[in-house]
């Protein structure tokens, strides 16, 4: 149990080094306004599109950084070996 907790903590710490913020709050506000009210202004529609593109770009960068981090990939393999 202690071994498992150690790896979870070490894994979370390693991953957190690669995390970057995304503007979820504004994206969510515009997204749900469009979905529920159907009345986004053209400039809001453009802002939503820009936010989606920027957020997706950030997510892709983070995923690539995590996948190329040798320490994280080794921890994933260790965790897989101890699960089940």
Per-residue pLDDT of 4-18, as tens digits, reads 656 678 888 889 989
Distance CA 31, CA 34 (A): 5
Distance from first CA to last CA of the chain, Å, rounded?
A: 13
Distance of CA 53 to the CA centre of its chain: 14
Q: Is the pTM of this model over 0.85?
A: no
Per-residue pLDDT of 31-76, as tens digits, reads 999 999 998 999 999 999 999 999 999 999 999 999 999 988 888 8
């Amino acid at each position: 149990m202690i071994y498992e907790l150690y790896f979870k903590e070490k894994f979370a710490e390693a991953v957190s080094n690669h995390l970057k913020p995304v503007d979820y709050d504004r994206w969510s506000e515009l997204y749900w306004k469009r979905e529920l009210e159907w009345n986004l202004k053209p400039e809001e529609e453009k802002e939503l599109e820009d936010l989606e593109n920027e957020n997706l770009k950030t997510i892709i960068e983070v995923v690539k950084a995590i996948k190329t981090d040798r320490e994280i990939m080794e921890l994933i393999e260790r965790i897989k070996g101890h699960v089940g």
